[in-house]
Amino acid sequence: MNGAESHALLLDRGNLKRRNRVSKLVSLSSTIAALLAVAVLLIVVGSVLSKGIGALSIHFLTTPMGLFGDTTGGISNAIVGTGIIVGIAALMAIPVGMLVAIYTTEFAPDRIGHAIRFVLDLLNGVPTIITGIFVYGLMVAGNRQSGFAGSVALAIIMLPIVARTAQEVLALVPGALKEAAYALGIARWRTLLRVTLPTAAGGLLTGSLLAVARVAGETAPLILTCSIFGQGLLTEPGEALASIPIFIFQSSESPSPEAHTQAWAAALILIVFVLVLNIIARAFYARSRKRMGA
């Protein structure tokens, strides 16, 4: 019965034609879906480029913001502020993240290593606005907003990204290299500093760059921790600092077309920074994997 049926299927030209047509249709719609995703990326980046480039000028890059509603200023204070906030965040999150990864790959017993991986995944899944609430309660409530509070919030978001990528990269380092060092009687910490970390350097850099790219555009936690800032070019992390994402957010909520143009220009700077960092990170990762023969 079954055999006869499939025999009939094979012979039935009309049915085979239909099956092939369905298959072609699926192939076509899959291709369209991929094209659509690429098109959306190009449309968004293209919008930012075409609407932002006109407002970009030396004046825009080197002048601090005007008073609220004044659109003749620039974003120099936001660029500097983002640099400081993200820089301090990176200084906190990258060493801690590396150490967490070192602990789980070098020292932790299996069960504790799994538990820490799980905690890092959880941390990665915490909505960034909640991280903002946490740092608000920890540092801002009863005190005031500050660039430093913003940095702590961003560092918490970076930590799981840095640690998880570092874990993956450290696990790729060939065991034979480490064993060779141990066989020479070299202590664990020396092996780590001289053998493991240099071998994994490219991949470790990737994770750090991706984490920086990820938080450079992060807005939600900064609203709660570092969004009410004074006039002019501020550089003291003890007080609230301007930042590019907050500038884009506030300008986007404004009804004035001039403010929108400024938002597009700031978005252009941010998107170029983020995408270039992503591309560099990928290049390093590809090179490092090749080096480790993975």
Instruction: Show contacts with other proteins in window 259-278 (CB under 8 A).
Output: 260, 263-264, 267, 270-271, 274-275, 278
**Interface with other proteins, residue 81, by CB under 8 A:** no
Contacts 24+ apart (CB under 8 A), 189-192: 192/102, 192/106
**Interface with other proteins, residue 180, by CB under 8 A:** no
**Interface with other proteins, residue 188, by CB under 8 A:** yes
| Of 73 and 217, CB closest to other proteins | 217
Among 61, 141, 171, 180, binds other proteins (CB under 8 A): 141
Cβ-proximal residues to 151 (8 Å cutoff; 6+ apart), any chain:
84, 85, 86, 88, 89, 92, 237
**Interface with other proteins, residue 34, by CB under 8 A:** yes
Question: Taking a C-beta distance cutoff of 8 angstroms, is the pair 161, 94 a contact?
Answer: no
Q: Compute CA 204 distance to the chain's CA centroid, rounded to the nearest angstrom.
A: 14
| Of 32 and 294, CB closest to other proteins | 32
293: left (phi > 0), else alpha (psi -120 to 50), else beta?
left
Both tokens assigned to 163: 């640690």
In whole angstroms, the minimum distance from the beta carbon of 59 to other proteins comes to 22
Cβ-proximal residues to 147 (8 Å cutoff; 6+ apart), any chain:
81, 84, 85, 88, 226, 236, 237, 238, 239, 240, 241
Report how many residues bind other proteins under the rule CB under 8 A. 95
**Interface with other proteins, residue 223, by CB under 8 A:** yes
Among 8, 130, 180, 294, binds other proteins (CB under 8 A): 130
**Interface with other proteins, residue 53, by CB under 8 A:** no
**Interface with other proteins, residue 217, by CB under 8 A:** yes
| Of 84 and 163, CB closest to other proteins | 163
Among 89, 94, 102, 241, binds other proteins (CB under 8 A): 102
